[in-house]
Chain A
Amino acid sequence: MLPGLVLSVIKWFDLKVMGYGIFFVLLALSLLAVAVWLMGLYFQHYEKNKGLKVKRKEGLKEEKTDDERLKAAIVAAVATCMAESKPLTRPRAKPLSKTEEASRWETMSRYELMEEP
């Protein structure tokens, strides 16, 4: 009884046509939306990196990441140290504590993992 009623309603309202219509249009637009969204993500990332590359190429001042700031600070500190230090008067380095050493290794590993500009 019930399946017959459902079938007759489907037939009467041509719900099959409607159902297929809604399904296909929703699917087409959703697929398009997802494709556009993915393309947008890719191109936003690409444009951002391209912008950085152009800035580097042109030698312009660029916004630095934390890693880059750290690297610059280390390089500057080492350069200052080398310029000012005198071999004979250089203080002896204190042995590092375990935590200090771990922290330094962590910094080094982050430094190594960085991509070349």
Chain B
Amino acid sequence: MSFLPIETGFEALDWGNLLMLLLAFGFLYLSIAKNLEPYVLLPISIGIILANLPLTGMLAKGEGLLWILEHYGIGAEGGWSIIPPMIFIGLGAMTDFSPILANPKTLLLGFSAQLGIFIAFIGALLLGFGTDASAAIAIIGGADGPTTIYATSKLAADLLPATTVAAYAYMALVPIFQPPVARLLTTQKERKIRMKQLRPVSRTERLLFPLMGLMIVVLLIPESATLIGMLFFGNILRESGVVPRLSETAQRELTNLVTIFLGLVVGSLLSAEAFLKVETLKVFGLGLLAIIACTAAGILLAKLMNLFVKEKVNPLIGAAGVSAVPMAARVAQMIAHQEDPHNYILMHAMGPNIAGVIGSAAVAGVFLGLLG
């Protein structure tokens, strides 16, 4: 098309770009026609399209819009990583910690799910990744997108496209991966266990918890301050009750705004040359191993806990220890509901689920402290 005054993108399109565009249209279809995770998949698919249309200059270093968003938003190429802490403020403002306060045992179930992270860490080392890269890949097991982005940007920035997409993909696919593992590791009788209703929690307790959590976790693991600090900051906005406008802004406008840019950025990471590598497949495989191991560890610890406690816990709530909030808790409720339509474990499952968020941010902090 040399007769045209400008170079068009048609002649620069290669098979890699076409493949990624096909993936983007697939995501668009799933989000619009099937209503599957539209808030995540729709911006991601547009990001993929923009990143894979050639000659746009959107990813040009120092100039392109998507490069700027990647660099300052998620810390690509040694830049800032401002989006993950912003999401944690919104998450904190949306989270009610009452299930943990009413049943502190669930904090330990949140820990068990982090064991999968360490299993994936060994797996990554065996596949030949370095220590830093293995730590970044292992965090996927927490099914916590912002934590994965934050840790990867600090530990192995070149793996950002693969780890970020794997983390978000697995977060969306928790309802598909978790039920078979949960059914395999529990008996029907265990899935039918009904749990006592949680006690009501006073406002003072809800207000003291984020302060206490902030002090304990950050003093112990200072590197976790960026994520844990923002999580509890958001929660203090909510529980203080004196800044309702700030709390509502954090829950809605801030979260929505950051989600828009995060989606675009995640999509923009999926350019053909950055994504279509053998390494990406390895990361996806290890991520899958990590998330299955996290689910299994949570369930097994809940079963172990049942050997020692008077009031039995439904082992399904252990599976909610992966920090996909509130998806993992909903999956636990769904499985319990299928066995017994009058069994409600959602609030109980929210305990390990929130503890999982704290746990994975703490693991990321430990990795950053040791390796960063």
Contacts and interface: CB of A to CB of B under 8 A. Distances in A.
A23 to B, nearest CB: 9
Contacts of B366: 20-21, 24-25
B221 A24 contact: yes
A39 interface: yes
Contacts of A17: 121, 131, 135, 367, 370-371
Interface string A72-100: 00000000000000000000000000000
B134 A31 contact: no
Contacts of B371: 17
Contact of A24 (B121, B135, B213, B220): B220
Interface string B354-371: 010011001100110011
A14 B114 CA distance: 17
A49 B13 CA distance: 74
Interface residues of B, number: 40
Interface in A40-90: 40, 43-44, 47
Interface residues of A, number: 27
Contacts of A35: 212, 216
A86 to B, nearest CB: 55
Given A17-B367, A25-B221, A44-B199, 14 more contacts: A13-B125, A17-B371, A22-B118, A24-B366, A29-B110, A32-B212, A32-B216, A33-B108, A35-B212, A35-B216, A36-B107, A37-B104, A40-B104, A43-B202
Interface of A: 12-14, 17-18, 20-22, 24-37, 39-40, 43-44, 47
Interface of B: 100-102, 104-105, 107-108, 110-111, 114-115, 117-118, 121-122, 125, 131, 134-135, 199, 202, 204-205, 208-209, 212-213, 216-217, 220-221, 355, 358-359, 362-363, 366-367, 370-371
